[in-house]
Amino acid sequence: MQNVTLIITEKPEAAKRIALALDFDGAPKNKTEKGITYYLIKREVPIIVVPALGHLYTVTNQKKEKYNYPVFNFNWAPRDIVERKTYRIRYCIDIISKLSKKAEIFIDACDYDIEGSIIGYTILKYACKNKEEIAHRMKYSTLAKEEIIRAYNEVSPHLDFSIIEAGLTRHEVDWLYGINLSRALTIIAKKHSNHYTTLSTGRVQGPTLNFLETREINRKIFVPTPYWQIKAKVKIGKALFEAEYKKGIIKKNRVLKNIITNCAGKNCVIERIEKAKRHLTSPFPFYLGSLQREAYKLFKITPAQTAKIAQRLYLEALISYPRTSSQKLPVSIGYRTIIKKLQKNPEYEKLTAELLSKRFLKPNEGPKNDSAHPAIFPTGNTTDRSLKITEKKTLDLIIKRFLAVFSDDAIIQETAISISINNNLFAIKGTRTAEKGWTRFYQPYFKFKNNVLPTVINNQKVRLIKLIPEKKFTRPPFRFNPSSLLKKMEKENIGTKATRSGIVQTLEKRKYICGEKIIVSELGFEVSEILREYCPSIVSIDLTRKLEERMEKIKEGKEKREKVIKDTIELLMKTTKILKTKEKIIGARLNNAVKKTLNNRIEVGYCSSCKNGKLVILRSKKTGKRFVGCTNYFEGVCKTAYPLPQKGVIKPNVQSCKSCGCPTIKVSIRGKRIWNLCLDPKCSSKFKGKKNEMQIV
Instruction: Output phi, psi for 303, to 5 deg.
Output: -55, -40
Is residue 468 domain-shared with residue 483, that is, in the same domain?
no
Report d(CA 504, CA 485) in Å as an integer.
8
Is residue 117 domain-shared with residue 198, that is, in the same domain?
no
Report d(CA 182, CA 531) in Å as an integer.
11
User: What is the predicted pLDDT for the residue at 669?
Assistant: 67
Average pLDDT of the chain to the nearest whole number: 90
User: What is the predicted pLDDT for the residue at 672?
Assistant: 53
Is residue 10 domain-shared with residue 104, that is, in the same domain?
yes
Pick the last residue of a domain from 538, 568, 594: 594
Confidence of residue 516 (pLDDT cuts 50, 70, 90): confident
> Which CATH number is 368's domain given?
1.10.290.10
CB 73 within 8 A of CB 61: yes
Residue 583 CB-density burial (10 A; 0-12 exposed, 13-18 middle, 19+ buried): middle
> How far, in Å, are 291, 404, 451 from residue 284 at the CA level?
11, 9, 27
User: What is the predicted pLDDT for the residue at 689?
Assistant: 47
CB 45 within 8 A of CB 22: no
Mind listing the pLDDT tens digit for each residue in 303-346? Answer: 999 999 999 999 999 999 999 999 999 999 999 999 999 999 99
The distance of Cα 342 from the centroid of its chain, to the nearest Å, equals: 28
User: What is the predicted pLDDT for the residue at 694?
Assistant: 41
Mind listing the pLDDT tens digit for each residue in 172-219? Answer: 999 999 999 999 999 998 888 777 788 899 999 999 999 899 999 999
User: What's the rounded mean pLDDT across residues 608-613?
Assistant: 81
Tell me whether strands 47-51 and 36-41 are parallel, antiparallel or unpaired: antiparallel
Mind listing the pLDDT tens digit for each residue in 329-338? Answer: 999 999 999 9
Of the chain, the percentage scoring pLDDT greater than 90 comes to 69
Alpha-carbon dihedral angle through residues 513, 519, 524, 525, given to the nearest 10 degrees: 170
Tell me whether strands 239-245 and 226-236 are parallel, antiparallel or unpaired: antiparallel
Residue 117: name the closest of 323, 311, 329, 327 by CA: 323
User: What is the predicted pLDDT for the residue at 328?
Assistant: 96
The string of DSSP letters for 45-103 reads: S-EEEEE--S--EEEEETT---S------EEEEEHHHHSTT-HHHHHHHHHHHHHHTTE
SS3 472: strand
Q: Which of 53-57, 265-269, 592-596 has the lowest mean pLDDT?
A: 592-596
- The question of whether 321 is a catalytic residue gets the answer yes
| Residue 298 parent element (H or E) | helix 288-299
Is residue 181 domain-shared with residue 251, that is, in the same domain?
no
Q: Which of 194-208, 235-249, 430-444, 629-643 has the lowest mean pLDDT?
A: 629-643
Q: Which of 240-254, 271-285, 605-619 has the lowest mean pLDDT?
A: 605-619
The string of DSSP letters for 216-284 reads: HHHHHS----EEEEEEEEEEETTEEEEEEETT--B--HHHHHHHHHHHTT--EEEEEEEEEEEEEPPPP
- Return the amino acid letter for 474: T
> Which CATH number is 173's domain given?
1.10.460.10
Residue 242 vs residue 682, higher pLDDT: 242
Provide CB contacts within 8 A for 32, sequence distance 6+.
none
Is residue 117 domain-shared with residue 199, that is, in the same domain?
no
Pick the last residue of a domain from 376, 404, 432: 404
Is residue 483 domain-shared with residue 459, that is, in the same domain?
no
Number of structural domains the chain divides into: 5
Look at residue 688 and tell me whether its pLDDT is greater than 80: no
The string of DSSP letters for 379-425 reads: -----SSPPPHHHHHHHHHHHHHHHHTTSPPEEEEEEEEEEEETTEE
The partner residues of 8 in beta bridges, in order of sequence, read: 50, 108
Residue 649 vs residue 660, higher pLDDT: 660
Look at residue 690 and tell me whether its pLDDT is greater than 50: no
Count Cα neighbours of 530 within 13 Å in the Cβ-side half-sphere: 32
User: What is the predicted pLDDT for the residue at 677?
Assistant: 82
> Which CATH number is 468's domain given?
2.70.20.10
Q: Which of 131-140, 545-554, 614-623 has the lowest mean pLDDT?
A: 614-623
Provide CB contacts within 8 A for 208, sequence distance 6+.
485, 489, 494, 495, 503, 504, 507
Look at residue 652 and tell me whether its pLDDT is greater than 90: no
CB 232 within 8 A of CB 419: yes
Is residue 309 domain-shared with residue 393, that is, in the same domain?
yes
Is residue 621 domain-shared with residue 492, that is, in the same domain?
no
User: What is the predicted pLDDT for the residue at 609?
Assistant: 83
Pick the last residue of a domain from 381, 404, 427: 404
Look at residue 224 and tell me whether its pLDDT is greater than 80: yes
Report d(CA 503, CA 518) in Å as an integer.
14
User: What is the predicted pLDDT for the residue at 2?
Assistant: 61
3-state secondary structure 126-182: HHCCCCCCCCEECCCCCCCHHHHHHHHHCCECCCCHHHHHHHHHHHHHHHHHHHHHH
The string of DSSP letters for 346-378 reads: GGGHHHHHHHHTSS-------S---SS---B-B
Count Cα neighbours of 117 within 13 Å in the Cβ-side half-sphere: 20
Report d(CA 180, CA 580) in Å as an integer.
12
SS3 307: helix
User: What is the predicted pLDDT for the residue at 686?
Assistant: 66
Find the radius of gyration of the CA atoms of the chain.
31
Tell me whether strands 103-108 and 136-137 are parallel, antiparallel or unpaired: parallel
Residue 542 vs residue 671, higher pLDDT: 542
CB 128 within 8 A of CB 2: no
Is residue 145 domain-shared with residue 82, that is, in the same domain?
yes
User: What is the predicted pLDDT for the residue at 85?
Assistant: 82
Look at residue 447 and tell me whether its pLDDT is greater than 50: yes
Look at residue 136 and tell me whether its pLDDT is greater than 60: yes
Count Cα neighbours of 28 within 13 Å in the Cβ-side half-sphere: 23
Is residue 48 domain-shared with residue 68, that is, in the same domain?
yes
Q: Which domain holds residue 680?
A: 601-696
Is residue 142 domain-shared with residue 34, that is, in the same domain?
yes
Start-to-end CA distance of the chain, whole Å, equals 69
Residue 370: name the closest of 429, 410, 320, 423 by CA: 320
User: What is the predicted pLDDT for the residue at 599?
Assistant: 63
Which residue among 245, 314, 321, 348 is the active-site one?
321
The partner residues of 36 in beta bridges, in order of sequence, read: 33
Mind listing the pLDDT tens digit for each residue in 353-379? Answer: 999 999 999 999 999 998 889 999 999
Is the pTM value of this prediction over 0.75?
Answer: yes
